[in-house]
Amino acid sequence: MPPRDLRAYLFDIAEACRLVDEFTRGKSADDYAGDPLLRSGVERQLEIVGEALSQALRPLRREFAAMSVSSPLNLARATGE
C-alpha cells in the first residue's frame, strides 16, 4: 500500500477536531464526566488525531534518527548554524 499523502492525515486531524468541538459544544465538565458515551466519542477522536500525527511525522522521525546530534558540532550541522 503506498503511503498516504500528508493532506489526508491533515484532513483526518481537522475532521476529528471538528467532531470533538461538535460533541462538546454547550457541554460542561460535569456533563463530560457524567456521560460515558460523550467521553468515549471525544477520546476516540483524540486517538485519531494522535495516530494521524504519528503517521504524518513518520518520515521526519526516520530523517532525525539517521542524523546524530550527539555533539555540538553535529547539532550545528543539523540546524545549519
pLDDT of residue 58: 86
Quickly count: other Cβ atoms within 10 Å of residue 31's Cβ: 12
Q: 55 — phi, psi (to 5°)? A: -70, -40
Query: Residue 43's closest CA among 11, 12, 16, 9?
Result: 16
pLDDT single digits (tens) 8-40: 999 999 999 999 999 999 999 999 999 999 999
23/4 Cα distance (integer angstroms): 28
Q: How much of the chain is helix, strand and coil, in % rounded to 5?
A: 80, 0, 20
What pLDDT band is residue 74 in, cutting at 50, 70 and 90?
low
| pTM exceeds 0.95, yes or no | no
